[in-house]
Amino acid sequence: MLINVGRGTAINEPDLADALNSEEISAAALDTTKNEPLENSSSLWTAKNCFISAHDSAHSLKSL
């Protein structure tokens, strides 16, 4: 599983979508993406086991 809560530019998003769909990577959780908000045309929206949040993980109760 890949988790990214740092920099959206650290991930090649089309390659990640391909790796998820081919099950090379089992899942991904992204709190940030290269462009925010993520474009409607992004292949990440339909990639298998891809979980995308609104870049707000720092605002959870546990982080306060």
For residue 62, being part of any structural domain is answered with no
Q: DSSP letter string over 14-39?
A: HHHHHHHHTTSS--EEES--SSSSPP
Domain that holds residue 51: 2-57
* Position 1 pLDDT exceeds 70: yes
User: What percent of the chain is predicted at pLDDT more than 70?
Assistant: 89
For residue 20, being part of any structural domain is answered with yes
Task: Give the pair of three-digit tokens for residue 40.
Answer: 């409607």
For residue 63, being part of any structural domain is answered with no
Q: What is the C-alpha separation between 35 and 48, in angstroms, rounded?
A: 20
Q: Model's pTM, two decimal places?
A: 0.84
Domain count, the chain: 1
Q: Are the C-beta atoms of 45 and 38 separated by less than 8 Å?
A: yes
Q: What is the C-alpha separation between 15 and 30, in angstroms, rounded?
A: 14
For residue 64, being part of any structural domain is answered with no
For residue 36, being part of any structural domain is answered with yes
The whole-number pLDDT of residue 55 equals: 77
Q: Are the C-beta atoms of 4 and 10 separated by less than 8 Å?
A: yes
